[in-house]
Structure 1
Amino acid sequence: MTSTLWQMFALIACGAAWRCARPAGLSAEQTRTVLTTLVYYLLLPALVLEVLWKADVGLHSLQYTLFGAVCLAFGMLGIWTCGRLLRFEPPQMGAVLLAAVFPNVTYLGLPVLEQAFGHWARSVAIQIDLFAVAPVLFTVGIAAARHFGQNGDSVRQPVGSFLTTPPFLAAILAVILNLCHVPLPNGVASVLQKLGAGVVPLMLISLGLALSWGAVTLRNLPHVAPVILIKMGLMPLFALWFSQYLTLDQAHKNALTLEMAMPCMVLGIVFCDRYRLDSALYAMSVTLSTLLSLITLPFWHRVAAGGF
């Protein structure tokens, strides 16, 4: 696991180096926007279609959804309680809620799970993202951001807006084709595989582009500490306990537990900017949790596998 993470972080470091060097005068924000747009609208849907079309999709997939929803609810309750006790201001409360609750299950989780468990784990990462994390993020997460934020969208997105996102539409199509036993043509599979092969390196480079040492300040440390405690400690511990009540095999339970141990998702910075939450606080949470995951992910991987 440690060697796998170092390989992942080598690509993340490429993104961080780009942020400092600004080749061709392109800023990190400009480059990341292009990369994430390409991945989100073309490469990731291709990967989702290719993986879920051939995956073992069934009633066990509902357990992924239940597992993800319950773990996110636990994280939300924990950070809300901390915020109330520590008297966080609304902009800080909204930022830490997004940071503590939603893990980076795709940008980092997908490549880590694939390297740690094998190709079959890609299906786990994609399903828990599209059928658990994304629906909660685009409903409860946005509602919380609006509640704690100062201003919202001039045109509010409908609650079910995630249903029209390219990866989700690709997932629905793939599941339908899968359940109808439609064979995946070799030519189509080859094209999808070539497109999907770009997802992991570009996502990791994009993650490196999002890391910002300028956001790491002592002023934000009291707000970030509860996020790190919940995200990197309590949430995976709860996931490890709750996974024992699932009827999945141990390998799938371990993969699910590791997903809940992932650092803060990068997408949350978009909602912080949109709803006037504390974006610097969120950026610091992403940076520190991502770096700490070099230590915490191998730890939780060993714990889940019974190594301690």
Structure 2
Amino acid sequence: MTDVAGALGPLFLLILLGALLGRLKQPGGDFWPQLERLIYYLLFPAMLVATLATANVSQVPIGRLAAVLLGALLIFSVVLWRLRHRLAPDGATFTSLFQGAIRFNTYVGVAGAAALHGAPGATVAAVAVALMVPVINVLCVLCFIAAGTLGSSSLGKSLAALVRNPLILACLAGIALNLSGVGLPGWSQATVELLGRAALPLGLVAVGVALRPQALIRHDRGIWVANLVKLVVLPAMVLTLAWVAGLDPVSRDVALLFAALPTATSAYILARQLGGDSELMAALITGQTLLAMLTLPLWLRLAGG
């Protein structure tokens, strides 16, 4: 594995560049929201399709990787739900804490895996995305339903959005192209790969733009609980399970990376649309992204050592 700080440092610098651009409101207007839509609906799906359609996924221990990642997610989801009354005063607050504890920033994860292990790391990361994105989205929607923060109309919209999720559809398309043997024929491979290459640097800058430093003035107990779970407890469990499962170094590092990632910036939109505490969500996203600049390298050095 290459030097962890050297691999992750440029990614964090791009996030900080985005934070600076957001602070300066440059470029102005609706540039960043439109760019986020382009990344989410076109560029990042193109990267997933390009990776999964042409990769030798037979070398990825999919079953053991799924057991490690999904097993840890389900365990923590149950524990958080059982402790909900102790962690949050109401349902809206708990849904944001729940998202903050289990969601992950896909852009940082895939970029980090590629920076650490090149093409093999990107392949394992794409498989991890295919495994985790559908499960996490279902868990979050179920959390909103159980917490009673959305009505029947919102439920229908949430389920429809889940079915149309571009990351899920891209993973399914890439896997189908791979298994069928079709791959990406002719010029399509070079075209899709070029689109995909733009996703990660632009996605990282967009992560920085979405940060809300002013939200950090909140000092709710739940913020520290969610941060502790996301950046310390969940990575510790995943690393332990990875060692027990005997994952190879690349799969182990990617599993640990995805477990230790800060929560997704898209969680803020979901909280706002489905009745969660959006300001708390903004504080979690900002705080975890900044803290992860310290905790991620430490976890990966521990795993490599």
Match of 1:60 in 2: 61
Give 1:118 deviation, angstroms: 1.4
Give 1:34 deviation, angstroms: 1.1
Give 1:86 deviation, angstroms: 4.1
Match of 2:144 in 1: 145
Measured in 2, the distance between the counterparts of 1:171 and 1:227 equals 28
Match of 2:5 in 1: 2
Match of 1:228 in 2: 227
Q: Which aligned segments of 4 or more residues in structure 1 are displaced greater than 4 angstroms?
A: 158-161
Question: Structure 2 vs 1, CA of residues 152 and 207 (structure 1 numbering), >3 Å: closer, same or farther?
Answer: farther
Give 1:19 deviation, angstroms: 1.5
Match of 2:166 in 1: 166
Number of positions where the alignment pairs a residue of Structure 1 with one of Structure 2: 300
Contact 1:210 1:266 in 2 (8 A): yes
Contact 2:44 2:200 in 1 (8 A): no
Q: TM-score, normalised by structure 1?
A: 0.89
Question: 1:25 corresponds to which letter in structure 2?
Answer: G
Cα-to-partner distance string for 1:254-276 (whole Å, 9 max, x where unaligned): 22112101111112112210122
Q: Identity percentage over the alignment?
A: 25
Measured in 2, the distance between the counterparts of 1:186 and 1:86 equals 54
- 1:82-97 matched pairs, under 5 angstroms: 82-97=83-98
Question: Structure 2 vs 1, CA of residues 149 and 13 (structure 1 numbering), >3 Å: closer, same or farther?
Answer: farther
Cα-to-partner distance string for 1:219-276 (whole Å, 9 max, x where unaligned): 43x1210011111110000001111243532321122112101111112112210122
Contact 1:272 1:278 in 2 (8 A): yes
Give 1:207 deviation, angstroms: 0.4
C-alpha RMSD over aligned residues: 2.2
Measured in 2, the distance between the counterparts of 1:17 and 1:256 equals 30
Measured in 2, the distance between the counterparts of 1:228 and 1:146 equals 23
Contact 1:152 1:274 in 2 (8 A): no
User: Partner of 2:157: helix, strand, or coil?
Assistant: coil
Question: Structure 2 vs 1, CA of residues 68 and 276 (structure 1 numbering), >3 Å: closer, same or farther?
Answer: same
* 2:188 maps to 1:188: yes
Q: TM-score, normalised by structure 2?
A: 0.90
- 5+ unaligned residues in a row in structure 1: which ranges? none
Match of 1:35 in 2: 35
Match of 2:99 in 1: 98
* 2:291 maps to 1:304: no
Question: Structure 2 vs 1, CA of residues 67 and 159 (structure 1 numbering), >3 Å: closer, same or farther?
Answer: farther
Question: 2:19 corresponds to which letter in structure 1?
Answer: A
Instruction: Select the residue among 25, 30, 38 that pairs with 1:22.
Output: 25
- 1:112-261 matched pairs, under 5 angstroms: 112-132=112-132, 134-152=133-151, 154-155=153-154, 156-157=156-157, 159=159, 161-220=161-220, 222-261=221-260
Measured in 1, the distance between the counterparts of 2:68 and 2:87 equals 29
Contact 1:138 1:161 in 2 (8 A): no
User: Partner of 2:107: helix, strand, or coil?
Assistant: coil
Question: 2:10 corresponds to which letter in structure 1?
Answer: Q
User: Partner of 1:33: helix, strand, or coil?
Assistant: helix
